[in-house]
Chains A and B, each alone.
Chain A
Amino acid sequence: SYVLTQSPSVSVAPGQTARIPCGGHNIGHKNVHWYQQKPGQAPVLVVYDDRNRPSGIPERFSGSNSGDTATLTINRVEAGDEADYFCQVWDSTPDHSYVFGSGTKVTVL
């Protein structure tokens, strides 16, 4: 089955840019989706289909995907962005399934 690899943690100062990578074999050929999860809360979809933002998600959140790495970028990081971020893809082999990365904890310094 398909495997997504995420770094455990990323630290960033307020106002700077956070880049959160998600690795997978030829992930550029798949559509990648990203979720933000704050402590004690349910996940929230922040980017879908590599680069699209749902209604209500700030423009500071953006995504890209090429080769073996997809990236969620958070511009002008705020204290409220501190959370776990999970990437996710749909996989058809061996059967219909949905795969998550292990998550990256973003800490705002």
Chain B
Amino acid sequence: EVQLVEAGGIVVQPGGSLRLSCEASGFAFGDFSMHWVRQAPGKGLEWVSLISWGASSSYYADSVKGRFSISRDDGKNSLYLQMNNLKTEDSALYYCAKAGGDGDYGYYFDFWGQGTQDTVSS
């Protein structure tokens, strides 16, 4: 059974930093690209970032480009999101999600974690 468990969400002040983690199990983690997707309270879903299998490529939404950095440790079956210079609009539930579909990056999200809440507030 695929399981994705996120951790690291806390309350942080604007301009602060935060590192989220996601531990995966139940599949060959190193063989799949992985994503972060976020959802602000009462709002829709917003894709945040992608890291390819092998970590050779990464992509970011324009809203976080230059501030967030995605990484992975295949030996620990773990995905990370380093978030710097946080803004109030970054407050959201952050989900890690496994890439689904063909190609190096997949085209959809076939399994999701339960999410970790990040609140940016002074």
Contacts and interface: CB of A to CB of B under 8 A. Distances in A.
A100 B61 CA distance: 12
Nearest to B47: A98
A49 interface: yes
Given A42-B115, A45-B100, A101-B44, A96 B108 contact: no
B89 interface: no
B47 A99 contact: yes
B109 A97 contact: no
A59 interface: no
Contacts of A49: 101, 107-108
A23 interface: no
B101 A97 contact: no
Interface of B: 35, 37, 44-47, 50, 59, 61, 95, 100-101, 105, 107-115
Given A98-B47, A99-B47, A100-B46, A43 B107 contact: no
Contacts of B35: 98
Contact of B113 (A37, A42, A97, A102): A42
A17 interface: no
Contact of A44 (B100, B112, B113, B115): B112
A100 B102 CA distance: 19
Contacts of B113: 42
A86 B105 contact: no
Given A45-B100, A98-B35, A33 B44 contact: no
A31 interface: yes
A103 B45 CA distance: 8
A97 B47 contact: yes
B112 A86 contact: no
A90 B99 CA distance: 12
14 contacts: A42-B113, A42-B115, A43-B45, A43-B95, A43-B109, A43-B112, A88-B45, A90-B107, A96-B50, A96-B105, A97-B59, A98-B37, A100-B47, A103-B44
A35 B109 CA distance: 9
Contacts of B46: 100
Contact of A42 (B50, B61, B114): B114
